[in-house]
Amino acid sequence: MKSIAIIGLGYVGLPLAELFLQNDFTVYGIDINVSRIEQIKESRSQNPDVDEAFLQRMIEAKQFHLTTKPEAITGVDAVIICVPTPLKEKNEPDLSFVESAFDQLMPHISENQLLCLESTTYPGTTEEVLLPKLKASRWQVGKDVFLAYSPERINPGSNVPAYTIPKVVGGTTQACLEKATTLYEYVFDTVHPVSSTRAAEMTKILENTQRFVNISFINDFAMLCEKMNLDVNEVIEAAATKPYGFTKYYPGPGIGGHCIPIDPHYLAYQAEKHQHNPSYIEVSEQTNQEVPAYIAKKIQRYVTNQADRVLIVGMSYKPDIADVRESSAVKVLEKLEDDGVRFDYYDPFVPTVKHYQSMTEEELKKQDYVVTVILTAHTNLPISLFETISDHLILPEQLYLKQGGDQS
């Protein structure tokens, strides 16, 4: 296998394309978003996890082909689908992107081709949604074509090389599993085969639901500590002295991103179909929804008159990236606006979000704030500037201290 098509060139697909390019694959990057294709061609992808210069060299060498046309998959050894799996209005799985992508690819599938889904989804998707489409087209899966699932494990903004993160793989047949394992062994240090695509799908759901529950728990625990006049950070560090059975989680402004707030609802959807109620998801979701308003209320304690302004630092859902999907920091801004609080925000990675616009450092130097609150701790923030222009400064680790974190 030395040619591959990546369907969807977002935060998951583009770094994956780069990984295969680094291992001498010819890569066809396919995305229906014309603007995204042009941005990649012009080294403007704004993806922190790729080397724009390297991608440009691969484009010029005609090893990386960018297109919106699904027929580009014809003849490649493998096709990997990395499209969004959001939620519908009632927190039900939305597989429209997956199904649409697969339907557009169907007429162009070639014999002996591997098709692998990486989008996070509920257990059973590959077998219940994609497999029937292939069978209806009279492909013999496991003989004529091969179908597998391997959950993406991208961690935007991380310094950990993607190829060092073990790759879980499941196939619809043993032959499918072997084909997918062989593919990923070209680019990943460790490939971990599992018994089925359902097991592989459930693996990712477990990873993210565990994190969802634990973060929600520690945020709720932090709110309780504040009411009891306890320093939650001190308690966490003390508990962490136990050499077994305890994992440190730190409280923050809430859960964000394209995975952690979404994926537990995929589990809940499938659990309901099996007459099982994972009540911990509902409880955790309730906590996660309450946190931004809780933080906004704390900020408002510093506002004593209508002229007072506050500065919120960090809009992305985690440090050193530009992704604001499901960002709790944005929800804090919206709550402050709803309550009539005057505010600005500063984020060097996010110049605009919704109808808000980031202040520049030069603009900040002319301002005076009653409080500056850092919600997303990007690297190299101008802390000394914040201290100069603010009466109070709240660092991320001080969000849940009794007096709002002010140590003066």
Distance CA 329, CA 326 (A): 9
Measuring CA to CA, how many Å separate 72 from each of 7, 41, 64, 102, 135?
10, 17, 12, 13, 22
Q: By C-alpha distance, which of 348, 338, 284, 363 is closest to 315? A: 348
Q: Per the structure block, which two tokens stand in for 284?
A: 């955790």
SS3 state at 368: coil
Task: Report the residue count for the chain.
Answer: 408
Neighbours of 356 (CB within 10 A): 18
**Longest Cα–Cα distance in the chain:** 72
Contact in structure between 35 and 9 (CB atoms under 8 Å): no
Per-residue DSSP letter, 49: T
Distance CA 257, CA 259 (A): 6
Neighbours of 106 (CB within 10 A): 16
Angle, alpha carbons 343-349-355 (nearest 5°): 45
Of 82, 176, 225, 259, which is the active-site residue?
Answer: 259
Q: Per the structure block, which two tokens stand in for 306?
A: 């209508």
Q: By C-alpha distance, which of 2, 319, 56 is closest to 186? A: 2
- In 174-258, beta strands by DSSP E: 191-193
Q: Let me know if 225 is a catalytic residue.
A: no
Q: What is the DSSP string of 7-73?
A: E--STTHHHHHHHHHHTT-EEEEE-S-HHHHHHHHTT----TTS-HHHHHHHHHTTSEEEES-GGGG
To which residue do tokens 């804090």 refer?
A: 332
Catalytic residues: 259
